[in-house]
A = this chain, B = another copy of it.
């Protein structure tokens, strides 16, 4: 399934890297714990990182009711949301043809608040499940006061585009004979050994034991 690009999501630069397939977009979003949100408050543009998760065709964020980000976004601002994974540095024989491998998604639209309490509960469970599958049934769930203090917002993924660069070097023909090493220096977000709290009274659950394997 794919969405037709809008004037805002049609990729202009290196357009052959654009990808409007829904599955590709979802994979990029699901690989991310963070997004960056752009909005204009009437005076300044802001670029704010925040945690995110996907459920169906919506991207979700949450925060304290009193936070500037939540207050601004509840004010029905047009936003752009970006998720970017850097996969490597591409070292060509010429400086000009150096590049990066990446997977990126940009979403346009407006956030809307989720007000139904049962929906909020299910969504925070889904967020916990993304972080640590099964933990939604272990950690103490939010109480009434905590949920009352928390805003959950969602934005449709309908107006979104993915852009991906993979693979190796693309040098100009005339540069191929130059005595310059060419190739890719890969980068990856990697899980490292868990750090248990000193006051723990229970053994590490499976999702902790498997975290860095």
Contact = CB atoms under 8 A, between A and B. Distances in A.
Interface of A: 8, 12-13, 33-34, 36-40, 44-49, 51, 64, 67-68, 77-82, 84, 86, 88-89, 91-96, 98, 100, 102, 104, 106, 108, 124, 128, 131-132, 135-136, 138-143, 146, 150, 168-169, 175-197, 199-205, 208, 211
Nearest to A136: B95
Contacts of A79: 45, 47
Copy tally for this chain in the complex stands at 2
A206 to B, nearest CB: 10
Nearest to A169: B197
A44 B92 CA distance: 35
B139 A47 contact: no
A200 B182 contact: yes
B187 A80 contact: no
Given A82-B49, A89-B33, A187 B186 contact: no
B181 A142 contact: no
Contact of A195 (B95, B168, B177, B199): B168
A189 B188 contact: yes
